[in-house]
Amino acid sequence: MRVLLIIPRFQLPIETRTTPQLGIAYLAALSERNGDEVRVYDQDIEDVPLEDVVRQYQPEIVGITSNTPQVKQGWLAARQVKSVAPNTVVVQGGPHVSALPEEAAARPEIDIVARGEGEMTWLELCNTIAHARAGNSNLRISDILDPQNKILNSVRGITYQTPQGKIKHNGERPAIDSLEELPFPAYKYFKLERYTSLQPAVDTVERGKSFSMMTSRGCPYRCTFCSQSVMAEKWRGRSPESVAAEFAHLIHDWGAQEIGILDDSANIDRKRMRAMCEKLIAENLNTVPWILINGIRANLADTETLQLMKEAGCKRVAFGVETGDEEILESIDKRVTHDQIREAFRNAKQVKLETVGFFIIGLPGDTEETMNKTIEFACELDPVVANFSMMTPYPGTKVWEQVHRNGGRMLMKDWDDYVFFEGKARYELGTLTAELQERKWKEAYRRFYMRPQRVFKTLTRASTWKHLPRTLGMASKLILPKMTKDEIKPMLYQH
């Protein structure tokens, strides 16, 4: 079967998303193992128009990934596919459509929505459709979607609109139990030389030499603002052997110079984390630096584990601190205390790991006073990088429900606006006005980065100058947006 996987444009400057998308790399690997012909089209880096690729390649099935700000670009890509290949089945997956499957399934350019973790659903869909069409090459998409023909009935984890106009949700797809069964992400389908680095771990990294990977999936926590609630709750860790084998593959086969670990909660099982680090050390794979892109659990960040991580090549850890206010911390279900967070930062600094702190401005219940506490807590913790995000209520999260239930006002006009790199408030709720959030967001950056002792320390620290490219790279990727959305928008809708 000819398979085409599409990564729609990101609503951000290209510099901010410069590694291959891991979900698509996994699907590509599965399709390859299945014996299918595979192509990946990443709209941010391609220069051939999508229609031309589709016309020439004639895919039989197209898979499109989408997070919320990408979803409209995903629909645009689907229309482009359908304009030249109307009988190609178009499947859309990813976090946004997992939260709101009906919305995408109702669109004429989308045939099937894949909810949640997608590998097995994708594989089954490809095989089911290939099988159905093998028996009848003229089978129309409406025949495939017609429940009377029982073609899709047994494929779990999908939502689609029947020709009779009904939205049909097939049963839930269980989370993959053993992640070891998955092949490694297939980077050979990406134009690697066009990618740089997600978040720099080293001073300079050659193009195509920065990779990301997942050593575990799932998160048993359900923080009220986090979109992971639409994904599997069950935490599953890969074995140290499997993680080391992927490190070896990235280093020896692809020449990886740095690795970003994307796990939602990498240290849930500390024993596994330590065993993984020991394995990396034993196999001499600790020569390539790695960083944790997402926050690890502060309540599980003891010195022994962090020390071992450092020895295994880890350079930087991040913690989701979110707020400096005790009550709000409790209300967002983070299930961690400020003292645990303090200790985690102390431990990380003690073993000389770089630290990143993620903070949210404008959580429900935030006031001038609580946001001051957040800024003060950030200053107290003093990570190398403090990232302040504007609270953005994503569909599928508890905050989204809270805002809608309690008469809040969403300030975003469409899905394109669901980004939080900009200093624009995304919603208002009670006394939490846009003006207040935007003022505090600016103040947070000013107060954190312009503290005289911080400026002095930064300017006099040899490493600031020694590692200038990385310092600037981190600043541009984690702290400052390169362009505003209005500057970017005209570039996005040029089709």
Q: Write down the least CB distance from residue 432 to ligand SF4, Å.
A: 20
Q: Which stretch binds ligand B12 (CB under 6 A): 90-98, 145-153, 203-211, 452-460?
A: 90-98
Residue 112 three-state SS:
strand
**The pair of three-digit structure tokens given for residue 484, joined into one six-digit string:** 């505003």
Looking at the Cβ atoms of 287 and 413, the one nearer to ligand B12 is 413
CA distance 425 to 442: 11
Looking at the Cβ atoms of 10 and 307, the one nearer to ligand B12 is 10
**Residue 226 found at the interface with ligand SF4 (CB under 6 A):** yes
CA distance 294 to 67: 17
Q: Which residue type sits at 67?
A: N
Give the orientation angle of helix 119-135 with respect to helix 22-33, to 10 degrees: 40
**Residue 107 found at the interface with ligand SF4 (CB under 6 A):** no
Tell me how many residues contact ligand B12 (CB under 6 A).
44
**Residue 318 found at the interface with ligand SF4 (CB under 6 A):** no
**Residue 93 found at the interface with ligand B12 (CB under 6 A):** yes
**Member of 219, 292, 429, 474 binding ligand SF4 (CB under 6 A):** 219
Backbone angles phi, psi at 196, to 5 degrees: -115, -100
User: Rounded to whole angstroms, what are the CA distances from 395 to 10, 61, 95?
Assistant: 18, 27, 9
Looking at the Cβ atoms of 27 and 403, the one nearer to ligand B12 is 27
Looking at the Cβ atoms of 293 and 328, the one nearer to ligand B12 is 293
CA distance 97 to 154: 20
Q: How many residues does the chain have?
A: 495
Q: What is the DSSP string of 33-49?
A: HTT-EEEEEETTT--S-
**Member of 80, 196, 197, 228 binding ligand B12 (CB under 6 A):** 228
Looking at the Cβ atoms of 43 and 294, the one nearer to ligand SF4 is 294
- How crowded is residue 103: how many other Cβ atoms within 10 Å of its Cβ? 17
**Residue 324 found at the interface with ligand B12 (CB under 6 A):** no
* Helix (H) or strand (E) segment spanning residue 50: helix 50-57
CA distance 23 to 61: 17
- Asked if residue 100 lies in contact with residue 395, where contact means CB atoms within 8 angstroms, the answer is yes
Q: Write down the least CB distance from residue 264 to ligand B12, Å.
A: 5
Question: For residues 39-78, which are near ligand B12 according to CB under 6 A?
Answer: 63-65, 67-70
CA distance 232 to 455: 42
What is the per-residue binding string for ligand SF4 in 246-275, x denoting contact by CB under 6 A? Answer: ------------------xx----------
Question: For residues 272-301, which are near ligand SF4 according to CB under 6 A?
Answer: 295
**Residue 247 found at the interface with ligand B12 (CB under 6 A):** no
**Residue 387 found at the interface with ligand B12 (CB under 6 A):** no
CA atoms within 13 A on the CB side of 220: 10
Looking at the Cβ atoms of 210 and 265, the one nearer to ligand SF4 is 265
Residue owning tokens 């709750």: 233
**Residue 391 found at the interface with ligand SF4 (CB under 6 A):** no
Tell which residue, 270, 364, 286, 272, has the closest CA to residue 325.
364
What residue ranges bind ligand SF4 (CB under 6 A)?
219, 221-223, 226, 228, 264-265, 295, 320
What residue ranges bind ligand B12 (CB under 6 A)?
10-12, 16-17, 19, 21-23, 26-27, 63-65, 67-70, 91, 93-96, 99, 114, 117-119, 121-122, 198, 214, 226-228, 262, 264, 293-294, 394, 418-421
